[in-house]
Amino acid sequence: MTATPHPGFSILLVDDEPAFLHSLSLTLERQGITNLLRCDDSRQVSTLMQHQHIGLVILDLTMPHLSGREVLSWLREEYPEVNVIILSGLNQVETAVDCLRMGAFDYFVKTAEQDRLLEGIKRAIQMQELRQENQALRQVVLHDTLQQPECFESIITTHPSMWAVFQYLESVARSRQPILISGESGVGKELIARAAHAVSQRRGPLVTVNVAGLDDNVFADTLFGHQRGAFTGADKARPGLIEQAAEGTLFLDEIGDLSPASQVKLLRLLQEGEYYPLGSDRAKQCRARVIVATHQDLPARQAEGRFRKDLYYRLRTHQVHIPPLRERREDIPLLLEHFLTLAADDLGRQAPALPQTLATLLQGYSFPGNIRELRAMVYDAISQNRNATLELDTFLHAMGVEPSPLIAPVTPRKTAVYFDPDQPLPSLQGITDLLVEEAMQRANRNQSLAARLIGVSQPALSKRLKKQRDGDA
């Protein structure tokens, strides 16, 4: 399998010494930076810029034909969005300051600052990636469309907040930076991770592991693998999940429960982009993108000293929050139909009809277990159902509500409503009060559900109930 070039744009190395270009290329490739172009004639820079997708130029200051200063000036005028790092054989403060004033991203001395140069190049890559992601996000916002809607087909929703999550994932799809997915248990964080992997079009697989409860040794062995003889019983080498996810995505679920010692190892992996299999003193490059998820409140755990602040800030480079089901009740009817079909197929039964009041009943429930809880409700109801229409009793039991005729399905009246001809007709106000009271009884005094039963907003119903109480006082 051919490795995916990193970063997503090319880095142009410009120096009149081919030996230095070769040496710098090898150094960068050992750091996992592989999308490189080399140029030993500064006059060719303009042609390369026209025909290649270049996001960073590393430019020698002293060259024949066109000096680095001249090339920098041209780049600032023609390609202002491209970062430029200047290299010089001499440590000259005035020259460095002059280049920075002209718009260079940074300035380094060739022979004395290799570690600083590598950090500066990584920083410039990250800045350029963030700039490109921001541009992509602005385009998404302007066009309000999805470029790859098929990647999100498994997520049943019409809610605007979820649509915004999809658009954001598309905008950061090509980034190698981690994604932090937060949300309550059961909201579908793994589905979001799968969609993020699909939309990234990475060549490797999605590898998933739940890290909750893993001690430090098991965590290290699971992710990093081990060499033969690394510990008792290690009779052969075993690749870790990072290696298995090469050119793909590594999804770490329940990251908020990771032990402090394992947090340090994960932080090093994200910062350095490399890891050591157990028993090995040779570093391996991480060629997988990392996505993490948690139901924990990471800022709160950080304040309690249970989650590292530096790891939290590293993870939240890209962050999405999945709202709970109670905040997107419009999705409940869609999910209900979806799980009804799945459950009937899995159990080998014909899908029963849905009671008219079921969706409204469920929309008045808080769903502490979110989508996972709704799915379990539907499967349980299908497994117990013996009628052509799905019964409500199993749902009511799961919601902690005793079955009652007041909230049972209503049989449509076959005759008109009867008014006693010897009595005066009630006023519209009186009819409205009776309707509100009937809805409150059927909804077991749940105002949100009662409001849906009669087609008004919950604040409007609350206001009317308050007027009724004030009138009785």
Domain holding 364: CATH number?
1.10.8.60
Question: Which pLDDT does position 401 carry in this prediction?
Answer: 67
Residue with more model confidence, 446 or 268 = 268
Cα-Cα-Cα-Cα torsion 208, 214, 220, 221, nearest 10 degrees, comes to -80
Residue 180 β-bridge partners: 292, 319
DSSP codes joined into one string, 329-386: GGGHHHHHHHHHHHHHHHHT-PPPBPPTTHHHHHHTS--TTHHHHHHHHHHHHHHH--
In angstroms, the Cα distances linking 114 to 28, 108, 296 are: 11, 8, 40
Task: Look over the chain and give the mean of its residue pLDDT values, rounded to a whole number.
Answer: 86
pLDDT at residue 448 tops 90: no
Whether 88 and 217 map to the same domain: the answer is no
Which tokens hold the place of 301? Answer: 């755990």
Whether 154 and 99 map to the same domain: the answer is no
The lowest-confidence range among 63-67, 110-114, 172-176, 280-284 is 110-114
pLDDT at residue 138 tops 90: no
Per-residue pLDDT band for 209 (boundaries 50, 70, 90) equals very high
CA atoms of 411 and 270, how far apart (whole Å) = 61
Whether 168 and 282 map to the same domain: the answer is yes
CA atoms of 196 and 173, how far apart (whole Å) = 7
Q: Classify residue 94: in a domain, yes or no.
A: yes
pLDDT at residue 372 tops 90: yes
Whether 215 and 92 map to the same domain: the answer is no
Interior CA angle at 260 toward 256 and 266, to 5°? 75
Number of structural domains in the chain: 4
The answer to whether residues 216 and 259 touch, using CB atoms and an 8 Å cutoff, is: yes
Q: Output DSSP code: residue 282.
A: S
CA atoms of 450 and 407, how far apart (whole Å) = 10
H or E element: which one contains 200? helix 189-200
pLDDT at residue 205 tops 90: yes
Whether 387 and 445 map to the same domain: the answer is no
Return the CATH number at 244: 3.40.50.300
Last residue of a domain, one of 323, 345, 366: 323
H or E element: which one contains 270? helix 260-272
Return the CATH number at 444: 1.10.10
Whether 292 and 176 map to the same domain: the answer is yes
Structural domain range at position 83: 10-135
The lowest-confidence range among 114-128, 370-384, 394-408 is 394-408
Q: Classify residue 413: in a domain, yes or no.
A: no
Query: 3-state DSSP call for residue 188?
Result: coil
Whether 168 and 224 map to the same domain: the answer is yes
Whether 167 and 314 map to the same domain: the answer is yes
Whether 203 and 302 map to the same domain: the answer is yes
Whether 299 and 369 map to the same domain: the answer is no
pLDDT at residue 305 tops 80: yes
Question: Which pLDDT does position 112 carry in this prediction?
Answer: 66
Whether 121 and 189 map to the same domain: the answer is no
Question: Which pLDDT does position 121 carry in this prediction?
Answer: 92
What pLDDT, in 10s, does the model give residues 379-389? 999 999 988 88
Q: Classify residue 163: in a domain, yes or no.
A: yes
Residue with more model confidence, 418 or 429 = 429
Interior CA angle at 400 toward 296 and 332, to 5°? 65
Interior CA angle at 248 toward 164 and 263, to 5°? 80
CB atoms within 10 A of CB 260: 12
Q: What whole-number percentage of the chain has pLDDT above 90?
A: 47
Question: Which pLDDT does position 410 carry in this prediction?
Answer: 41
Segment 342-369 mean pLDDT:
88
Q: Classify residue 233: in a domain, yes or no.
A: yes
Last residue of a domain, one of 264, 295, 323: 323
Q: Classify residue 66: in a domain, yes or no.
A: yes
Per-residue pLDDT band for 413 (boundaries 50, 70, 90) equals very low
Q: Classify residue 458: in a domain, yes or no.
A: yes
DSSP codes joined into one string, 289-305: EEEEEESS-HHHHHHTT
Which tokens hold the place of 204? Answer: 């490797």
Per-residue pLDDT band for 300 (boundaries 50, 70, 90) equals very high
Last residue of a domain, one of 87, 104, 135: 135
CA atoms of 73 and 209, how far apart (whole Å) = 49
Segment 167-173 mean pLDDT:
89
Question: Which pLDDT does position 257 carry in this prediction?
Answer: 93
Whether 119 and 33 map to the same domain: the answer is yes
CA atoms of 231 and 162, how far apart (whole Å) = 46
Q: Classify residue 350: in a domain, yes or no.
A: yes
Query: Has this prediction a pTM greater than 0.75?
Result: no
Which tokens hold the place of 309? Answer: 């602040």
Q: Classify residue 412: in a domain, yes or no.
A: no
Cα–Cα nearest to 210, from 230, 227, 185, 231: 185
